[in-house]
Chain A
Amino acid sequence: MIQQANSEKGMGFIIGASSVGTLIEWYDFYIFGMLATIISTQFFPEDSGTSALLSTLAIFAAGFIVRPFGALVFGRLGDMIGRKHTFLLTLVLMGGSTFAIGLVPGFKTIGWAAPIIVLVLRLVQGLALGGEYGGAATYVAEHAPAHRRGYWTSWIQTTATLGLFLALGIIILIRQSQGVEKFSAEWGGWRYPFWISLLLVIVSIFIRMRMSESPMFAKVKAEGKHSINPLKESFGNRANFKMVLLALFGAVMGQGVVWYTGQFYAQSFIENICKVNFVDSRDILLIAILLATPFFVIFGSLSDKIGRKWIIMTGLLLAICSYHIIFTQFLNLTDAAARRDLIDISKTTKSAAIATFDSKDRSKMLVSTHYDSVYTDGAVYSYTYVDTILLSKAYTGNTNAIAYSLTSNSSNTTSDSIMVTAKVIPGVSFVNGITNVFAVNKAGKPGLVIEKALDRSTFWKMVFLVAIMVVYVTMVYGPIAAFLVELFPTKIRYTSMSLPYHIGNGVFGGLVPFLGTLIVEFTKTKENLAGDPLAGLWYPVGVAALCLIIGVVYLRNHIDEDVLD
């Protein structure tokens, strides 16, 4: 009989070898997202509807459609030819496509071929990611001793977080060493993270080649009991299909939304709704993740003692009950009105007004004024007020003259029109001069852009709050691999667990930012132009609540001692 238990040393190698590959796959997946702005500039033409379509496909299709397909394709392979060779294949596909993205010439060089090639390579990435996780989790779980399965598989769960760190670390390092301009050039430093992937993948392949096949799968195959048609046996067999549905609706869909809310939507909310600057919001997230990451292993290990179900359900319950409280705190901590008394007037500055024409409608002039409010506790809130001024007729002056400095702005006493005297700043072939532009009125309320640099106290309070949400992530995500592995038989495990996992995370989780923003849009009215900023939370809270009810009622708190069968 094949021994299920392995020495701690042997498990260390298995975990290391499995995790490195999964970590690299996450790294590959993240760098595309982190460099999305540069990628769209390099590969997609500006102001093109087709370009926007391709860009949408690259983001949506790779995340939502292709990942579950990858789970089916590679899950099937993994149950037929074995875990080891399948996740070697996913690694090669992921690494190869990532490296290739770094080699594709820009739109300026090869035209429409550039975005199409990038789209295809991105789809291959999504496909490979769909096949990777199930293989790694299955492989580790099938090696782990029964009483430590939650502990050992929880290491796999940390790879998504570590991949994020690796991607961010490499990008920051290259950008700081090269400078922004060189980094963003057509063949600049932004391509290096893609090329580095090849190196990482070669190392990982070398490590994985030394691994043996999962003992359980090897036994099943040696006895001729492996599945001939894993898809049919997984989804055509009611006894198994009902467990696939239970895994999805009773655990993974809730886990997916809690994960994406804690690690992705929170940052988006802090940056876009609270208007905290990019550097602070990124640092808040990274420190919070770093502080909370050990809890993956803690909760994975705890699940070996008290079972998987109640840890996952507690994580869901805490998230449902506290999301509104935590996100309200984000708003309160960064509320400018509440901090009015702390403004240091002596340090607060106001820039000269700058006026520019609307690029598409030259009968509109945009006048912007910049303020830096400095607070006694060290915070700096920057505001840019933008007034739209409707001109009596479209300006037909030299198109090279793109910027105007507002020198006077006086109300006309006879009507609601105003007169703007603008000093023309020279373009390429334009002479300095003064232009009088007659405006009919100011249109609507001024636009307001705010960027907030936080004081240290607020910064650390926000780190604490995000860390709490990441701890919820560790509660639902830490034990999930062991939970899924124990639901399904060895011969169809790879297929059966991969599909609910990638639907739960790719679809339910991946849609949190999109649907969250959409729900906020629903709440916008003429009286309340900003809408309810917390309304976006109803999607993750609703899905998590549904999952909690199904999980509590239908799941069993069971640790399967024997996953050999």
Chain B
Amino acid sequence: MNEIKKYLGILWILLSPAIVIFLFWQAADKITQASNATRANVTLQWSIILIIFIPICIGLAIFGYYAFKGYYEHLPESSTEISD
């Protein structure tokens, strides 16, 4: 199972930029397609989505990195393992 955790870590690392690129592509597409009347509103919506999802995707990449490095092979049994 630990091997699977590690290899999946690579997948999470790769998935993260893929999602960000997809979101940027969609944002550009939707903003371009929007009419003049709705463009500002669509831009705002997608800006908020990008602002929110980019840190989450960074988090997914870090999660993948931790998994790849084996930090999830052992989960803490007690809070002392986390605090100290």
Give A residues with C-beta under 8 Å from B. 49, 52-53, 56-57, 60-61, 64-65, 233, 237-243, 245-246, 248-249, 488-492, 503, 507, 511, 514, 518, 549-550, 553-554, 556, 558, 562-563, 565
Do B44 and A245 touch (CB < 8 A)?
A: no
Determine the distance from Cα of A248 to Cα of B63 in the docked complex, in whole angstroms.
10
Output the least CB separation between B58 and chain A (Å).
Answer: 11
Interface of B is mostly: helix
Contact between A249 and B60 (Cβ–Cβ < 8 Å)? yes
Task: Judge whether B66 and A239 touch: CB under 8 Å.
Answer: no
Establish whether residues A52 and B41, one from each chain, have CB atoms under 8 Å apart when the complex forms. yes
Interface residues of B in 31-67 (CB under 8 A from A): 37-38, 40-41, 44-45, 48-49, 51-53, 56, 59-60, 62-63, 66-67
| Shortest distance between the CB of B65 and any CB in chain A (Å) | 10
Residues in A with CB closer than 8 Å to B30 are 518
- Quote the shortest CB–CB distance from B55 to chain A (angstroms): 9
Contacts of A249 in B (CB 8 A): 12, 59-60, 63
The answer to whether A491 and B83 touch across the interface, beta carbons within 8 angstroms, is yes
Q: Tell whether, in the assembled complex, residue B72 and residue A49 are in contact, meaning their CB atoms are under 8 Å apart.
A: no
7 A-B pairs with the lowest CB-CB distances in the bound complex, closest first: A489-B79, A565-B79, A245-B63, A52-B41, A239-B82, A240-B82, A60-B48
Contact with A along B15-33 (1 / 0, CB 8 A): 0000000000010001000
Partner of B5, one of A57, A489, A554: A554
A57 to B48, CA, bound (A): 9
User: Is A56 a contact of B52 with CB atoms below 8 Å?
Assistant: no
B56/A507 in contact, CB under 8 A: yes
Assess whether B83 is in contact with A489, with CB atoms less than 8 Å apart.
Answer: yes
Question: Across the interface, do B79 and A242 meet the contact criterion of CB distance under 8 Å?
Answer: no
Q: Separation in Å of the B5 CB from the closest CB of chain A?
A: 6
**Counting chain A CB atoms within 10 Å of each CB, which of B12, B26, B44, B79 scores highest?**
B79
**In contact, B45 and A60 (Cβ under 8 angstroms):** yes
Q: B75 contacts which chain A residues (CB < 8 A)?
A: 243, 246, 556, 558
Bound form: Cα–Cα A556–B37 in Å: 51
- Offer 8 A-B interface pairs, CB within 8 angstroms, sorted by A: A60-B44, A233-B83, A239-B82, A246-B72, A507-B52, A507-B53, A550-B8, A565-B83
Which residues of the other chain, A, contact B49 by a CB distance below 8 angstroms? 64, 511
Compute the total of residue contacts between A and B using a CB distance below 8 Å. 87
Measured between alpha carbons, how far is A295 from B75 in the docked complex, in Å? 30
Question: Out of B1, B8, B44, B82, which one reaches A489, CB within 8 Å?
Answer: B82
Q: A56-B41, A65-B51, A554-B67 are in contact. Are A245 and B82 (CB under 8 A)?
A: no
Which of the residues B1, B40, B66 comes within 8 Å of A49, measured between beta carbons? B40
- Residues of A near B45 (CB, < 8 A) are 56, 60, 514
Given contacts A65-B51, A489-B80, A489-B83, 7 further A-B contacts (CB under 8 A): A60-B48, A238-B66, A239-B82, A240-B83, A241-B62, A245-B66, A489-B82
How far, in whole Å, are A203 and B45 apart by their CA atoms in the complex? 38
List the interface of chain B (C-beta within 8 A of A): 1, 4-5, 8, 12, 26, 30, 37-38, 40-41, 44-45, 48-49, 51-53, 56, 59-60, 62-63, 66-67, 71-72, 75-76, 78-83
B59 close to A245 (CB less than 8 A): yes
In angstroms, Cα B76 to Cα A242, docked, is 11
- Closest A-chain residue to B48, C-beta based? A60
Residue of A nearest to B38 (CB): A52
Complex: A489 Cα to B78 Cα, angstroms: 8
Chain A min CB distance to B71 (Å): 5
The residue from B52, B56, B66, B78 contacting A565, defined by CB atoms under 8 A apart: B78
Is B5 a contact of A53 with CB atoms below 8 Å?
A: no
Nearest CB in chain A to that of B43: its residue: A53
Q: In the complex, what residue of chain B is closest to A227 when comparing beta carbons?
A: B83
Across the interface, do A49 and B37 meet the contact criterion of CB distance under 8 Å? yes
Return chain B residues, CB-CB under 8 Å to A242.
63, 66, 71-72
| CB <8 Å contact, A53 and B59 | no
Which among B4, B41, B56, B79 is the interface contact of A488 at CB below 8 angstroms? B79
What is the chain A residue whose CB lies nearest that of B39? A49
Contact A56 B44 (CB under 8 A): yes
Q: Which residue in chain A gives the minimum CB-CB distance to B62?
A: A245
A389 to B8, CA, bound (A): 58
Cα–Cα distance between A565 and B80 once the two chains are bound (Å)? 7
Q: A488–B48 contact, CB under 8 A?
A: no
Closest B residue to A556 by beta carbon equals B75
Bound together, the chains give a CA A550 to CA B1 distance in angstroms of: 12
**Given A238-B71, A489-B82, does the pair A53, B40 have CB atoms closer than 8 Å?**
yes
Contacts of B59 in A (CB 8 A): 245, 248-249
Contact A553:B5 (CB < 8 A) given known A60-B45, A248-B59, A249-B63: yes
Contacts of A60 in B (CB 8 A): 44-45, 48
Residues of A within 8 A of B52 (CB): 64-65, 507
- Whose C-beta in chain B lies nearest to the C-beta of A249? B63
Which of B5, B37, B40, B48 is the one whose CB lies under 8 Å from A61? B48
Give B57 Cβ to nearest chain A Cβ, in Å: 11
Q: Please, which residues of chain A bring their CB within 8 A of the CB of B40?
A: 49, 52-53
CB neighbours (8 Å) of A565 from chain B are: 78-80, 83
CA–CA, A371 to B8, complex, Å?
56
Query: Which A residues touch B8, using CB under 8 A?
Result: 549-550, 553
Counting chain B CB atoms within 10 Å of each CB, the highest count among A61, A553, A562 belongs to A553
Q: How far is the CA of A63 from the CA of B60 in the complex (A)?
A: 21
Q: Are B56 and A503 in contact (CB under 8 A)?
A: yes
What is the minimal beta-carbon distance from A319 to any residue of chain B, in angstroms? 21
| Chain A positions within 8 Å of B41 at CB level | 49, 52-53, 56
Asked if B76 and A239 make an inter-chain contact with CB atoms under 8 angstroms apart, the answer reads yes
Q: Which residues of A contact B12 (CB under 8 A)?
A: 249, 550
Question: Which residue of B has the minimal Cβ distance to A555?
Answer: B75
